[in-house]
Structure 1
Amino acid sequence: MRKAFSGQTRFDCQTIPEVKLNLKCRDEIIPILRGLQHAYSQPQLRDEILDLVGQDVNEHSRNDRGREGLDYWHITVLAAARLGCNLDYDKLQDLAEQHRALRQIMGIGDWQDDIDFNWRRIRDNISLLKPETTEAISHLLVAEGHRLQPDAAKKVRVDSFVVETNIHYPTESSLMVDGVRKIIGLCVDLADDLGLPGWRQHEHLLKKVKQIARQIGGIGARKGPNYMQRLKKPYRQLLKQTRRLLRRAADLCEQALSQGASDLNCAFRTASIKHYVELTQQVSDTARRRVLEGETVPNEDKLFSIFEPHTQLYKRGKAGQPIQFGRLLLVYEDAAGFIVHQHVMDRDSQDVDVPVEQTRALQKRLQNTIEEISFDCGFHSPDNQTQLAEIVPQVCLPKKGHKQSADQKSSASEQFRQARRRHAGVESAIGALQAGNGLERCRDKTELGFERYVALGVLGRNLQTLGKLLIAREDESCHAAFSKRSAA
């Protein structure tokens, strides 16, 4: 049983619009709470947000039956604070239990100690939100910011960066160990439950695989003369052991399905084993092609994590991070600092593939408000230049190459030059998303979790921006409204 929010006034706390925030404090939670307070005080905006949350939370259940759950408003506040302040669930639990202003914004009184904010409960409720829902809430908040500052959407700057997935440095040997370890664990549990033989020596089998992988790691670390030749022997042994285990796992799945053909639990567990067998086989194939056959394997055929298979390798030449493992995130920032649009690119997409489609979608959503947009040279192609000019009146899209860029700059208009100078400011927004909103490295699992994590990070950033805008309108000199960032 859930409700959108509690409209009942209490003796032990103020109503949410009347909560006093410490505007002399520079902590990032103050603008977030101010943004949430403003959203709650606008009935139409609040109801639209809570309707979106309710559709996800009660997608497969009724909101008037069962045990009492967290209110939709509680979930909204906790979701905003999680990456708005770049918190893990333990810290978020502590704030939900101890932070007086946060509890008052949630509508929880000083005498109200019966609400359980265990970190698992918080995680399970926030995980009910779909990435599309979180993005829609962010769009509503951005629209409210544009209502307060109408000219903000006229100028937009665009860039992309890599959000890393939470994986270890991948090598074929380590990934095969990951796959074999997971497969053996699943197979042992399934065989024990069904009383099937063949996995009594599972610890010994895993130990042998790990020993071979350590030999490969030692050779790869020391290198030396002909180290690729010396790698072939242990790789042949590792591939041989892996093939044997994969065959045994496939045989176990067939036996299990023949014994429990109508058991859904058995079908689910065998499907999980087959999933990891398929991924481990893919890694084994790339290892054979690269090490034994000397083939150069393209990134599209490689797997960089058994547990996060959507991860991609990017060589972007960044200082200190020449190689990154994750996914590319495209962001559009307006003149007020709002992230008006974000897009997680496909594994095989690059900057040059996405600007036209995404800009057209954004311009349509903002009802053709954008008058000027800027990119860096990585987005340039002749087709992009032509099509973007049809979508936005003024496009700053530098050409690739020093000579072509210089020729373009010499004949460019003053508006183009100004947009080009201002474009570097988008790096500040990216730095804020990475350092302040957790988008340097995703801490959630699976591709769906990755997309939800990105959407929550952008939501937190937009709430901070809205909160600072509101605080500055009330008192420009207060610390909570201070920002060094320049407008786009």
Structure 2
Amino acid sequence: MVKTHVHFPTDTNLLWDAIRKAIQTCAALCDTLDLTEWRQSAYHLRCFKKSYRLIQKLKHSTSQDEAKRQAKQAQIETAYQTYLDQAEAYQQRAHATRQRLNQAHGLPTPMLADLDAYLAHAERQIDQIRRRVPRGETIPHGEKVFSIFQPHTEWISKGKAGVPVELGLRVAVVEDQHRFILHHQVMEKTTDDQIAVSLVEHSQTRFPAVTAIRLDKGFHSPSNQVELKQHLENVILPKKGRLSEADKVRESDPTFVRLRRQHSAVESAINALGVHGLDKCPDHGIDGFKRYVALAVVARNIQRLGAVLREQEQQAANRRRGPYKKAA
């Protein structure tokens, strides 16, 4: 899992990000055209931030008194309503500015693309907050965006102790027996079992000599078990969940057990990639993310090649010196 460079998302701070960038973008565009309608942009940001900070400080009451809990809830809803009203006012004003810049001042649509994106993010967040707070709805996970700057970011729960949630994208890595990375794939809105076959096909396209593969349980599905055997001679793919008698026989085979134990070696490649900079991607956009991952894989292979060459040089030096003997 490679993290993206984002802060922890909430619907309120994402709305703050969207409105802040919309105001700043409008002010910058107006400044280039000597327009003064956003000359107080810094003041507007301070006013909006006060409402945002107030929401951050408000907490739900844990009192046993029902009246106190209701009063606190009413205070929270009032603060949210003020925040949303301000956000809508700034959104509408920024949209009106966008129309004037395009029609009256002739700014082309591509120059306004960033502003359009921020306004779309703001509209979505206003709608989701209204549904969540006053109406009490639960927002479906598929409707959520976890960063307006890195919209490809995904919410990943891996069940690790002390790390309940990670923000980023999964990356699948294929490593050979010599610890070189043969292939990798950035997984956008997909899971391990959905890419198992394509991962093998792409690896074999580049390296036809690949005849066996060891995979985690996460890649298992009944269809994957069948399709992978059509591409490879040996498929070491443990089944998730309860094993049938046939699965017990297959997974207790000595060859299966031996090759499955070797699978843990791929963790060294994952650790090396993380230690050398691939734990978090600082680049922007999905294209930048994929480029950064690819360069990290190339760097890892170069590092591994250097280790192999050093080992060969050391072995050659040992042969020239001959066996080491202790003095009598």
TM-score range, shorter chain: 0.7 to 0.9
**Runs of 5+ unmatched residues, structure 1:** 1-161, 479-488
Residue correspondence of structure 1 range 349-360 to structure 2 within 5 A: 349-360=190-201
User: 2:159 is matched with which residue: 292, 317, 325?
Assistant: 317
Amino acid at match of 2:86: Q
Q: 1:431 matched to which residue of 2?
A: 271
Aligned to 1:380: 220
In structure 2, what residue type is equivalent to 1:370? Answer: V
Structure 2 gaps of 5+ residues are 64-68, 318-328
Larger RCO: 1 or 2 (CA < 8 Å, sep 6+): 1
Matching residue of 1:104? none
Deviations 1:292-351 (A, max 9, x none): 3222223221111111111110111123322000111111111111111010011x2111
* 8 A contact 1:377–1:397 mirrored in 2: yes
From 204, 208, 212, the counterpart of 1:363:
204
TM-score (ref. length: structure 1):
0.60
Q: Which amino acid aligns with 1:359?
A: V
2:37 corresponds in structure 1 to: 198
1:292 is paired with a residue whose SS is coil
Distance in 2, matches of 1:198 and 1:206, equals: 14
The alpha-carbon deviation at position 175 of structure 1 amounts to 1.2
Q: How many percent of aligned residue pairs carry the same amino acid?
A: 36
Q: CA deviation at 1:471?
A: 1.9
Higher Cα Rg, which structure: 2
- Aligned to 1:271, which of 99, 113, 131? 113
Residues 1:171 and 1:416: Cα distance change in structure 2 (over 3 Å): same
Q: 1:300 aligns with which of 134, 139, 142?
A: 142
- How far is the alpha carbon of 1:193 from its aligned partner? 2.8
Deviation at residue 229 of structure 1 after TM alignment: 6.3
Distance between the aligned counterparts of 1:451 and 1:458, measured in 2?
11
Question: Displacement of 1:173 after TM fit?
Answer: 1.2
Query: When the two structures are superposed, what TM-score results if normalisation uses the length of structure 2?
Result: 0.87
Q: Where does residue 418 of structure 1 map in the other structure?
A: 258
- Shift, 1:201, TM fit: 3.0
Mapping of residues 36-435 of structure 1, within 5 Å: 162-220=1-59, 224=62, 231-261=76-106, 263-264=107-108, 267-346=109-188, 348-367=189-208, 369-401=209-241, 403-404=242-243, 408-412=247-251, 413-435=253-275
Distance 1:239 1:462, change over 3 A: same
Q: Aligned equivalents of 1:406 and 1:328: distance in 2?
A: 33
CA contact (8 A) 1:409 1:417 kept: no
Deviations 1:12-39 (A, max 9, x none): xxxxxxxxxxxxxxxxxxxxxxxxxxxx
Q: For the structure 1 residues 184 and 405, does the alpha-carbon distance in structure 2 shift closer, same or farther, using more than 3 Å as the test?
A: farther
Question: Any idea what the Cα deviations from partners look like across 1:231-277, whole Å, max 9, x if unmatched?
Answer: 4322222221111111111110111112232x55xx44322211111
State how far apart, in whole Å, the 2-side matches of 1:417 and 1:223 are.
55
Q: Distance in 1 between matches of 2:83 and 2:240?
A: 45
Q: Partner amino acid for 1:349?
A: T
User: Which one is further off, 244-253 or 282-291?
Assistant: 282-291
The whole-number CA distance in structure 2 between the counterparts of 1:167 and 1:439 is 15
Deviations 1:371-409, CA, capped at 9 Å, x for gaps: 2211111111101111111111111111112x3289734
Q: Distance in 2 between matches of 1:313 and 1:449?
A: 19
